[in-house]
């Protein structure tokens, strides 16, 4: 079975035979797959009235476990955005009734962000939709192939995920 990357690589081998274009065979497919995944994610989230960034914040709170709350700093760490961006996101999610701000009982100046029942429900439904989309994308692979692919991708991404600072 031929794909667009096969055609791209063949063209580069023809036009630039002096270059080793083998990395394109893997990384161009990863890049194309990332675009397809982004579209599938956006669709899954839109079906539940959420933007991808909203899903990220809601699910970070959900993964924290009951009572589903984190400090803004903890949310920054999990979502990799600036504090100004996070403040804006919390404001917008609060206006939509998906999160609420509470005083931090351990820090009189601090606040905690807690998932509302509506936020938990919408996040949970969006997650179920996302997983259905992702299962469909992976349907051509056996369980063993999915495990092997996950391991190989982990080897590629772990160095980026474990950079200090």
Contact 50, 150 (CB under 8 A): no
User: ω into residue 67 within 30 of 0, thus cis?
Assistant: yes
Question: What distance in Å separates the CA atoms of residue 93 and residue 57, rounded to the nearest whole number?
Answer: 9
The strand pairing partners of 112, in sequence order, are 102
Closest CA to 114 of 58, 162, 52, 165: 58
Torsion angles phi and psi, residue 108, rounded to 5: -60, -25
The pLDDT of residue 78? 86
3 state SS of 114: strand
- What is the pTM assigned to this prediction? 0.82
How do the pLDDT tens digits run along the chain, 165 residues long?
Answer: 899 999 999 999 999 999 999 999 999 999 999 999 999 899 989 999 999 999 999 999 999 999 999 999 899 888 888 889 999 999 999 999 999 999 988 888 889 999 999 999 999 999 999 999 999 999 999 999 999 999 999 999 898 877 765
The pLDDT of residue 165? 57
């Amino acid at each position: 079975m031929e794909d667009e990357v096969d055609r791209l690589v063949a063209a580069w081998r023809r036009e630039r035979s002096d270059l080793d274009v083998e990395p394109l065979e893997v990384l161009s497919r990863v890049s194309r797959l990332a675009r397809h995944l982004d579209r599938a994610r956006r669709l899954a989230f839109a079906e539940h009235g959420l933007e991808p960034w909203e899903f990220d914040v809601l699910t970070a709170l959900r993964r924290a476990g009951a009572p589903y709350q984190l400090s803004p700093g903890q949310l920054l760490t999990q979502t990799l955005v600036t504090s100004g961006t996070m403040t804006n996101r919390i404001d917008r999610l609060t206006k939509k009734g998906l999160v609420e701000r509470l005083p931090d009982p351990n820090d009189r100046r601090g606040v905690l962000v807690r998932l509302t029942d509506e936020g938990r429900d919408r996040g949970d439904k969006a997650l179920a939709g996302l997983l259905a989309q992702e299962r469909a994308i992976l349907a051509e692979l056996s369980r063993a192939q999915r495990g092997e692919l996950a391991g190989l991708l982990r080897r590629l991404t772990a160095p980026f995920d474990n950079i200090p600072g």
